[in-house]
Structure 1
Amino acid sequence: MQKKISDDSATTATHFRGWERPAQSTVPALTLVSHPQPERIGERLLLEMLAAVGRTASLSRNAPEFSHPGSLLARPLGDPFLSRKPVQFEPGTRGRLRLLAPEDGTPVRVAGQPVRGSREFTPAEVAAGVPIVLAERVVVLLHLALAPELPPTGDLGMVGQGEGVRRVREDVLRVADLDVPVLVRGETGSGKELVARAIHQNSPRRGGPFISVNLGALSKELVSAELFGAQKGAYTGAAKNREGFFRAAHGGTLFLDEVGEAPPEVQVALLRVLETGEVFPVGSHAPVPVDVRLITATDANLEERIRQGVFKAPLLHRLAGFEIQVPPLRERREDIGPLFLHFARQELKATGELQRLSGAGPHTEPWLPASLAVRLVRYAWPGNIRQLRNVTRQLVIGSRGLPGLRVDARLEQELDASVLPLPGYAPTPLPARTAADTPLPEETSPTRRKPSDVGEQELLTALRASDWDLKATAERLGISRASVYMLIEKSSLLRTAGDLSPEEISRCFHECQGDLDQMVQRLEVSKRALQRRVRELGLGSA
């Protein structure tokens, strides 16, 4: 199925053959999460001196200097509300890290409590990431980073310079020019399709098509025809020949998301395609050769599915010519600030308010309040980057025309529902609270429940909090995904994608410019089902 790459077709990835990462060790680091000058979010300071016994690190208004990884521009925090008298960091007892805050210096708050004198952090707390608030204006995240810092790789369309995303970029460049199947693993919303696109764009196939297909969104009755094509009259409703996604991706890359949802007969056909490079359209007995690079993705434990007998081991072995593991957002907290800023720029540009992120003076109140910045880096993000993008959109749109970001009570409750276990944490009030909405269900590992115990309002609240991701909703409520489908069907408050008229879907598609996530928020239906309706109506890929 995949053509051999000639020596002169190697791409950017070539220099990774035989490449080894230099030996590095982890050191404490500080990354800016909030600052009166928003463009500084993501700047970093490595505290390498703390690796030496007896050494301390000082942090004040005038020194030391922070910089974006790989940038030559470095500057101190520079906020006039910070003291010239430094906050200090030093090695503590039993491998801990100690923070020293002078009484007449910059006010420091950690975990909702002021620091008076000193406070020690365990190695586990530092590894997880500790937000530190300075003078209620600047938030830095204390975390671990590799030292010495390597030159930054190209971003490949991925935001962030944390260790997790850097490893993903390196893996992309290692495999991009090799025409082997790639399996991308990661939680829902963690950016697996972005990884697949990066592989395609850095491969010799970049001039060919990139076709993205969510197997979980395809009708079980038509999935074979959708993938492999079909002859006219092969099944009821087949009024013409169907090309199929494999042939549509000829000469390029086919990305199959949620490959763990593939039915048994499709698994057999996928294995045959990988072994022979040929597809059999439904209703045809003649094979059709295809030249396609296959990239698949899953958030499922395929090894466990093999043990359960619902996934074929030979298929996993063929799909995983090379594996890339995408870290969840909670494991790359130093990237939350830059990601938030990236999505905020997109939304502010759409609302015509991009100037809010530039030209801030030294006495300006931070556009991203310290209390909100702390919540963002401490939240568990079960929906990962997709959820962060939606939260950012909600914050920006909900704050149009205001000098800073306003947070409503529902979102505040959601961000407080699941946080890192810092002892003594007491959330501080966010600015401009509105009237309380319906409380969200608990985020913390719900026990299994009976579907009959879930009320209609609780179901609706959980769906909205999960951005209409039915799997995340099921986990939030402690019931199965099948039970969520059943409750939606029975609910008088909800409707399904099948209830929507073609006119309503078409109008929403054009108003949202094809952005499926915006359509889901507006129509309040399952993303998978809506994606299928959009495709059926010929409105373009979503």
Structure 2
Amino acid sequence: MPHDPLADVSTAAMQERGGPRRSPRVVPALTVVSHPVPRRVGTRLLMDAVAAGRSVALSRNGPDFVAPGGSLGLPLADPFISRKPLEFSPAGDGGVRLVVPEDGTHVAVAGVPLHGAHDFGAPALAEGVALELAGRVVVLLHAVELDGEGAADTLGMVGESVGLRRLRRHIERVADLDVSVLIRGETGTGKELVAQAIHQRSTRREGRFLSVNLGAIPKELAASELFGAHKGAYSGATKDREGFFRAAHGGTLFLDEVGEAPPEVQVMLLRVLETGELYPVGASSPVTVDVRLIAATDAHLEEQIRDGRFKAPLLHRLAGYDLRVPPLRERREDIGRLFFHFAREELAALGEAGRLDTEDPHAEPWLPVSLASLLVRAAWPGNIRQLRNLARQLVIGSRGQARLQLDSQLDEALGAPPDAVAPVAAAAVKAPVPDAREPGVARRKPSQVTEAELLAALRASAWDLKAAADALGIPRPSVYDLIDKSPNLRTAGDLGADEITRSFEACGGDLDAMVRALEVSKRALGRRLKELGLVAKGT
């Protein structure tokens, strides 16, 4: 099975990986992970202005979020996101500064509220930061390479991350060349989908595509399964066996987990790759086959070569063109689209395909903010396979519910955020504020909350407005509105300088005691003290 273009293709691959090339333009972006209108998931805002040194103001009314490769878009348009904009501007070393205005949209990272200005450096943008807006919308702040944007053919792969676009370009370059391909990637990344995409765009697309997992074949049977066997060649061989290579004649054979090939099979693979001939087990004459071989592995074959477990010449033949499938943790901007893609498939199987067709911006998000944020921050050791299984578990486990529910078992399965992500939240806030939402509290309309309930919630949460909002099941901005409408409640801005000074002296400068006495927001009262030149204890 000789293939003349091998040297040229290998050279092209090396140039793509390491040769001189034009550096792509990188800009910060916001990609929608969860939204009350599900079709908005995956749309994004490219913040070219920030890359150019200017600021971008984000509110419910603008700017527009556009599907990758599209031209028309829509603003976030969630009625609970404030008209008072968040501001994104350049920070040092390629980072982004986010300014959260007072009394504007509530913003959190990993459930921890953000207040004022926060810088997210280039490493945080490379990893991605999930920003939770108004408890209803999640957008991922991340970096985007504009090189190769807007390719028309997705090759059947969901997503527009940098790594996925690069993979598509490699597939398009090698698909119509009759060379062997080695696909590397962690378990569950979708290596077989890549192999199918190569086959469908090759000159062999009319031929068969056979997929074989070498790790699932007993080692003593691997040779006969792949290359065939004559009747009587071994105990149990009661008839001639064709073998996968001959069955795939004129088409493509995909060998997954090729690193599991026994030594004798490695020798036979090398021969068929070099000559196009194979010897069925028990045969004395060769059989010619015309098969394109695509192999895949999650193993480090170079390490296996050093340990004497894999043959270097075979690796060189398998890797006529070498592809890498990125793990899901390198595709965080794709997670929202992937999750909804799998969820729609599961809902369709349950006869509930229309569940995600709502266009009502006032609707409660089907994918809750806390869950969406957790999906983006998870480590995903099982990659896309794990995400698909989780989507199935959530959809089935939440049948009959208005929203998806994450039980403790699934929460544990997702695990803690990766080390690279966790510091983002820690750096964004000085002291995490615990979530005061009572388990099972349903979302409510602010008009349903009485003044007595509001006051009780504020007192129970020590006048932490976010915690009170969660306990009441309403957005945080609505707490401000209810306070404004309540004649018996006030804000720190309503307090006179004399009253604050008297309380400061009476409480001995204890800010917590002042909050209890004056019954106003601790954060807002702290700012008033600073304005008056008073330094409270513990600040």
TM-score (norm 1): 0.74
Q: What is the Cα deviation at residue 152 of structure 1?
A: 2.1
Q: Which moved more, 1:357-366 or 1:329-338?
A: 357-366
Q: Which residue of 1 aligns with 2:183?
A: 184
Q: Which amino acid aligns with 2:255?
A: L
Paired letter, 1:284: A
Conservation of the 8 A alpha-carbon contact between 1:274 and 1:318: yes
Following superposition, the deviation at residue 96 of structure 1 comes to: 3.3
1:173-202 CA-to-partner distances (Å, cap 9, x unmatched) read 100000000000000001111100000000
C-alpha displacement of 1:21: 8.0
Query: 1:400: how far off?
Result: 1.1
Structure 2 residue 307 is matched with structure 1 residue 308: yes
Counterpart code for 1:288: V
Tell me the equivalent position of 2:500.
none
The answer to whether 1:344 aligns with 2:343 is yes
In structure 2, stretches of 5+ residues that fail to align are 6-15, 427-431, 441-539
Q: Distance in 2 between matches of 1:214 and 1:176?
A: 22
How far is 1:149 from its partner?
6.4
Where in structure 1 do 4 or more consecutive aligned residues deviate above 4 Å?
Answer: 2-5, 20-23, 425-433
Judge conservation of contact 2:61–2:83 (CA < 8 Å) in 1: yes
CA distance in 1, matches of 2:341, 2:299: 29
Shift of residue 429, structure 1, vs aligned partner: 8.7
Q: How big is the shift at 1:50?
A: 1.0
Match of 2:466 in 1: none
**TM-score in terms of structure 2 length:** 0.75
For structure 1, which segment, 400-409 or 179-188, has the greater mean C-alpha deviation from structure 2 after superposition? 400-409
Pairwise CA distance, 1:147: 2.8
1:388-427 to structure 2, matched below 5 A, reads 388-419=387-418, 420-421=421-422, 422-424=424-426
Contact 1:2–1:291 (Cα < 8 Å) also in 2: no
Which residue of the partner structure matches residue 121 of structure 1? Answer: 120
Counterpart position of 2:156 = 157
Provide the residue aligned with 2:216 in structure 1: 217
Tell me what 2:326 maps to. Answer: 327
Aligned to 2:484: none
1:95-114 equivalences in 2 (<5 Å): 95-114=94-113
Match of 2:49 in 1: 49
| 1:30 maps onto 2:30 in alignment | yes
* C-alpha distance in 2 between matches for 1:291 and 1:315: 18
CA distance in 2, matches of 1:378, 1:87: 22
In 1, distance between residues paired with 2:312 and 2:147?
41
Taking the aligned partners of 2:439 and 2:28, their CA distance within structure 1 comes to: 35
Stretch moving more, 242-251 or 398-407? 398-407
Q: Does structure 1 conserve the Cα–Cα contact (< 8 Å) formed by 2:180 and 2:317?
A: yes
Q: Counterpart of 2:79?
A: 80
Aligned to 1:272, the other structure's residue is in SS state helix
Pairwise CA distance, 1:302: 0.6
**Structure 1 position 48, deviation (Å):** 1.1
1:297 & 1:85 partners in 2: Cα distance? 51
The 3-state SS of whatever aligns with 1:91 is: strand
Residue 57 of structure 2 is matched in structure 1 by 58
Secondary structure of 2:75's counterpart equals coil
Residue type of the alignment partner of 2:30: L
Q: Deviations over 1:230-264 (max 9, x none)?
A: 00111111111100000010000000011111111
Tell me the percent identity: 62
**For the residues of structure 2 that align with 1:408 and 1:380, how far apart are their CA atoms?**
18
**C-alpha separation between the residues in 2 aligned to 1:418 and 1:387?**
15
What letter corresponds to residue 196 of structure 2 in structure 1? R
Residues 218-241 of structure 1: CA distance to partner in whole angstroms, max 9, x if unpaired?
Answer: 111110000000001111111111
Provide the C-alpha distance between the structure 1 equivalents of 2:379 and 2:357, rounded to a whole number of angstroms: 30
Once the two structures are superposed, residues 467-507 of structure 1 have per-residue CA deviations (whole angstroms, 9 ceiling, x without a partner) of xxxxxxxxxxxxxxxxxxxxxxxxxxxxxxxxxxxxxxxxx
Q: Say which SS state the counterpart of residue 216 (structure 1) adopts.
A: helix
Tell me the distance in 2 between the aligned counterparts of 1:383 and 1:346.
Answer: 20
Q: For 1:294-342, what per-residue CA distance to the aligned partner results, in whole angstroms no more than 9, with x for missing partners?
A: 0000111111111111110000011100001110000110011111011
- Structure 1 vs Structure 2 CA RMSD: 2.1
Q: Which amino acid aligns with 1:326?
A: V
User: 1:447 is matched with which residue?
Assistant: none
Quote the residue 1:454 is aligned against.
none
> Is the contact made by 1:33 and 1:42 (CA closer than 8 Å) also made in structure 2?
yes
Give 3-state SS (helix, strand or coil) of 2:153's partner: coil
User: 2-side partners of 1:43 and 1:432: how far apart?
Assistant: 32
Deviations 1:271-298 (A, max 9, x none): 0001110111111111111000000001
Extract unaligned runs of 5+ from structure 1: 6-15, 434-542
Is the partner of 1:222 in helix, strand or coil? helix
Deviation (angstroms), 1:112: 2.1
Contact 1:152 1:161 in 2 (8 A): no
Amino acid of the structure 2 residue aligned with 1:303: E
CA–CA separation in structure 2 for the residues paired with 1:427 and 1:348 = 34
SS in 2 for 1:131: strand
Q: How much does 1:426 deviate? A: 7.6
Residue aligning to 1:379: 378
Q: How far apart, CA to CA, are the structure 1 residues paired with 2:37 and 2:247?
A: 47
- The one-letter code matched in structure 1 to 2:33 is V
SS at match of 1:193: helix
CA positional deviation for 1:204: 0.7
Give the CA deviation at 1:24.
2.1
Query: Deviation per CA, 1:378-429, whole angstroms, max 9, x where unpaired?
Result: 0010000000000000000101121110111111123242432224378859
Aligned partners of 1:427, 1:378: CA distance in 2, in Å? 18
Aligned residue number for residue 298 of structure 2? 299
